[in-house]
Structure 1
Amino acid sequence: MAPVGHKSDVSNESLEKTFSMKGGKGESSYVNNSQAQAQHARSMLHLLRETLDLVQLNSPEIPFVVADLGCSCGSNTIYMIDVIIKHITKRYEATDYEQPPEFSAFFSDLPSNDFNTLFQLLPPYGGGSMEECLASNSHRSYFAAGVPGSFYRRLFPAKSVDVFYSAFSLHWLSQVPDIVLDKRSTAYNKGKIFIHGANESTATAYKKQFQGDLAGFLRSRSKEMKRGGSMFLVCLGRTSLDPTDQGGAGLLFGTHFQDAWDDLVQEGLITSEKRDNFNIPVYAPSLHDFKEVVEADGSFIINKLDVFRGGSPLVVNQPDDAAEIGRALANSCRSVSGVLVDAHIGDQLSEELFYRVEHRASSQAKELLEQLQFFHIVASLSLA
């Protein structure tokens, strides 16, 4: 069969403008496939609160500013902002101040993020006193705004933010390293769409890209954070020292997802070159990868930096239902990478690809539930 027509490739130059978690409220949307992220984030609330206890409280006359970087479009970000503001409010109530400050929350992600869905999920602002807002479960106690842009660059005015929060975002690179897409390079990732099991040169290129991106992130936040501010970061991580072993991320993108791309090539639906020009811009760092950048930058003090077992990214009602597990894996992959796949091979072939992911995952459902486990790097940082 001749290759089906498709859209043009997503270049690194356009990645920032096109990439996002899958918007809307459909079956494969991020809204309906982020339950695992919610569970993992809630398991770390005690660590988040420890970070919040380190934040310097200023006069209540000065608004307290919180920013979620990589907020996406689901209810998870709204829940976490609420947790942060309620905790800071309790800290103010325990001081001699008569009342807490006004709160401002910035939801930030790339311009292509589905901010419309996010804003529709936001409860209305209480409008009355802060006490009335906090007493109401149906209203929010903060002013809200969306901030489009890459968090690898500046997003806010200097010394304007008290708390930065970012969960499950920093493993997404600003781009696929150019040399990974260069046929003349030893880092060319021939035959693969991810670095799991790739050669050393490819893995080194990805690591260098991650560390350069993280350095840019830290430089930007160090300028934007108020003196006495703190930051809580969570991203995919790995326990192996070998960057070609991407752990849970490797199993998610480097097995059934990889095999589904190979199916399209073998069936003549796409060329092998078309497959090789698609690479997932994700890097799950080791603790050393992360720490090396933070220490070299020097802007932040490390309060806590560790690797935690996050659990499975698959949330299913019937663990014995192979078909449900297959759908869960396909929807999980699609919710985070579907926009990139659609742009690279078009909607029709994207449907074919994720159908194959679902079918392959269903045939090995039991092994998936047992083996697919994520680890997370958790970092608590304060301005030096």
Structure 2
Amino acid sequence: MEGPSNAFPMNGGEGPHSYSRNSSAQRIFIDRARKIIKEAVAEHLNIEAFSSSGAFLIADLGCSVRPNTFYAVSNVLQAVEQKCESLGLDSQILEFQVFFNDHVGNDFNILFRSLPQDRRYHVAGVPGSFYGRLFPKNCLHFVYSSFALHWLSGAPKEVQDKSSPAWNKGRIFYTNANKEVIKAYAAQFAKDMEVFLCARAQEVVRGGLMVLTFLTRPDGAPHSQVFANRSLDLLESCLADMVKKGTISEERMDEFNLPMYYASPQEMKEAVERNGRFSIKKMVELVEGLAEAYPLTGKMIASQWRAALEGLLKEKMQFGEEMLDELFDSFARKHDESSIFEFVRESSITFVLLERSTTN
């Protein structure tokens, strides 16, 4: 995610490169998070304290477009209803309000047109970056965010500064860059997480819960071994090829850096502990079974990345449809020609359950 003035949401609509048609991997892990959410609500949610208000407020931060956000919300609602039943409470008297949040440019039209007809919750859209306040103080009971927080508020300024030792000339990412570039990205992630947690600490009621799902780099693993990072290396090489052909200028590529960072679970833990406003109730790192979530062909993975990056490339690189087609066709071929899929096992998914502190 980027800040309000530099927001590049996922592709909307229902076309071949839309996010709604290229997010099946995320759906797999939303399904896997269901058990964690159920256990989290059962063990840690003080529903009796919250039910007196008559309303239970849920926010999905970085919701993008359908259908994954609806599955995620359904998981939360079912868990809360089961908790009510286990305590002998009538869940029917509890009204649910769900806030779907993403950037102003997100395709909220398709999101709202696709709302389940049988939903048992009220709906509101909340446009804006989650790197800042979005809601009134002490109003949210449950916050959910899935595969969104690897998006930074922006690429680190140092990597675009020619006078900085972290200037990332000729590259668009940190994977194989010098250590100063990696440090700049890690520092940006830490800074953004602090902003995110401070904002949520004001919005979430004391004792409220937050479940965050991240694509992570296993603790101790080199950045260059993470599947997503190696994939973006191939994108970088495709752009370098376009520079050599004269399709784009060297200067334009030098000015382009991806605003993403794949943190390790340890970096996540340190960010939460440094902030001090939430306590980690559970952190689950899932390494097994990732292969089934990843596309099996270069064309499929190129389409997934295009759904995520097209808006950014159009704005920052001034790419039109023909240049996008050229880039992602080349990107797909390079995936098929490489041994990159062997590195799927080097990635991990981390589920983090946080509880809003009752003391600070």
| TM norm structure 1 | 0.86
Change (3 A) 1:82 1:242: closer
Retained in 2: the 8 A contact 1:314–1:328?
A: no
SS of 2:21's equivalent in the other structure is: coil
Inter-CA distance 378–204: structure 2 relative to 1 (3 Å threshold): same
Contact 1:20 1:113 in 2 (8 A): yes
Deviation at 1:313, TM superposition (A): 8.0
- Give 2:331's aligned residue: 357
Pick from 69, 74, 83 the counterpart of residue 82 of structure 1: 74
Which stretch of the first structure deviates more once superposed, 374-383 or 179-188? 374-383
Among residues 177, 183, 186, which one is paired with 1:198 in the alignment?
177
How many residue pairs were aligned? 348
Superposed counterparts of 1:288-303, under 5 Å: 288-303=266-281
Cα offsets for 1:265-301 (capped at 9, x unmatched): 1111111221121111110111221111111111111
What is residue 136 of structure 1 aligned with on the other side? none
Q: Partner amino acid for 1:285?
A: A
Q: CA deviation at 1:242?
A: 6.4
Secondary structure of the residue that 1:301 maps to in structure 2?
strand
Corresponding residue number in structure 2 for 1:331: 303
- Cα deviations by residue, 1:122-177 (Å, 9 ceiling, x for unpaired): 023xxxxxxxxxxxxxx100001110111111111111010000010011000001
Report the Cα distance in structure 2 between the residues aligned to 1:243 and 1:207, rounded to whole angstroms: 13
Q: C-alpha offsets along residues 95-136 of structure 1, whole Å, 9 cap, x if unaligned?
A: 243343010100001111111111111023xxxxxxxxxxxx
Residue from 358, 372, 376 that aligns with 2:344: 372
Q: Secondary structure at the match of 1:346?
A: coil
2:5 equivalent in structure 1: 14
The whole-number CA distance in structure 1 between the counterparts of 2:100 and 2:127 is 8
Matching residue's letter, 1:153: G
Contact 1:179 1:185 in 2 (8 A): yes
Pairing partner for 2:98 from 102, 105, 108: 105
| Structure 1 residue runs without a partner (length 5+) | 1-10, 125-138, 320-324
**Per-residue deviation, 1:370:** 3.1
Check conservation: 1:207, 1:243, Cα contact below 8 A: no
1:26 deviates by 0.8
Structure number with the higher helix fraction is: 2
Amino acid at match of 2:77: I
- Tell me, what secondary structure is at the counterpart of 2:341? helix
Q: Which amino acid aligns with 1:338?
A: E
What is the percent sequence identity of the aligned residues?
35
For 1:166, the equivalent position in structure 2 comes to 145
SS of the residue aligned with 2:192? helix
Match of 2:25 in 1: 36
Distance 1:45 1:195 in 2: 33
2:120 and 2:68 mapped to 1: Cα distance? 17
Distance 1:270 1:158 in 2: 47
Residue 62 of structure 2 contacts residue 146 of structure 2 at CA under 8 Å; is this kept in 1?
yes
Q: 2:215 aligns with which of 221, 236, 258?
A: 236
Contact 2:278 2:355 in 1 (8 A): yes
Unaligned residue ranges in structure 2 (runs of 5+): none
Two-structure CA RMSD over aligned residues (Å): 1.9
User: Are residues 1:65 and 2:44 paired?
Assistant: no
- What SS does the aligned partner of 1:146 have? strand
| Residue type at the aligned position of 1:357 | F
